[in-house]
Chain A
Amino acid sequence: LAKTTQPISMDSYEGQEVNITCSHNNIATNDYITWYQQFPSQGPRFIIQGYKTKVTNEVASLFIPADRKSSTLSLPRVSLSDTAVYYCLVGPYNAGNMLTFGGGTRLMVKP
């Protein structure tokens, strides 16, 4: 699986847009990019997945440039409840048995 690099932590304020970037220079042709959210003492929760360009759902947007060597998770108008750890994972669509979570990005939303 491609190695990913994310910032260890980020701070933001309520109502702001937060962008978390993940670098994956060795991404393979058949790799997808998936983001998870984890609150303290809870299991990770799937947020969004994409292959290229832009994907949007009710929770977030995922921006993937043409070279796919990075991706950006965008959270619009964050609230205190968005304080969590966010994980970027890169792997084949059928990598169900190979999900490896790195350290993630700890997002702290302040009032």
Chain B
Amino acid sequence: EAQVTQNPRYLITVTGKKLTVTCSQNMNHEYMSWYRQDPGLGLRQIYYSMNVEVTDKGDVPEGYKVSRKEKRNFPLILESPSPNQTSLYFCASSLSWADGDGYTFGSGTRLTVV
């Protein structure tokens, strides 16, 4: 089944403890992206990647890192999480950055930083 898989689905952590949220797609998509969703603010893009080893900042990149060493994986790294990073996170992928037909989203990761 074609899908974007995020792990974990739920995570509670403490301030300052480094964490990684994994994202993997099995559709050979070139383009991948991370979003966070907060009440009243819609989905905001954190980072995106147009292909392997090519990443760029979205609207809200502060406090986050990403890497794209392989086409299928695009992990989101929080080096020193803070409570304001408590949010619902989504990974998305598409065939290419020029593919306007739509994006496939993962099921989400609900992160709580205390």
> Does A13 reach chain B (CB closer than 8 Å)?
no
Shortest B58–chain A CB gap in Å is 8
CB-CB under 8 A from A49, the residues of chain B are 100-102
> Does A2 reach chain B (CB closer than 8 Å)?
no
Inter-chain contact A32/B59, CB cutoff 8 Å:
no
Q: Interface on A for B, CB 8 Å cutoff? A: 32, 34, 36, 41-46, 49, 87, 92-104
- Chain B interface size, as a band, is 20 to 34
Work out how many contacts link A and B, with CB atoms closer than 8 A: 73
CB-CB under 8 A from A94, the residues of chain B are 97-98, 100
CB-CB under 8 A from A97, the residues of chain B are 31, 33, 45, 48, 50, 56, 58, 97
Inter-chain contact B98/A45, CB cutoff 8 Å:
no
Inter-chain contact A100/B45, CB cutoff 8 Å:
yes
Inter-chain contact B101/A46, CB cutoff 8 Å:
yes
> Does B105 reach chain A (CB closer than 8 Å)?
yes
Shortest A97–chain B CB gap in Å is 5
C-alpha gap A45/B101 in the complex (Å): 11
Query: A101-B43, A102-B42 are contacts. A96–B96 as well, Cβ < 8 Å?
Result: yes
Query: A43-B106, A99-B45, A101-B43 are contacts. A93–B56 as well, Cβ < 8 Å?
Result: no
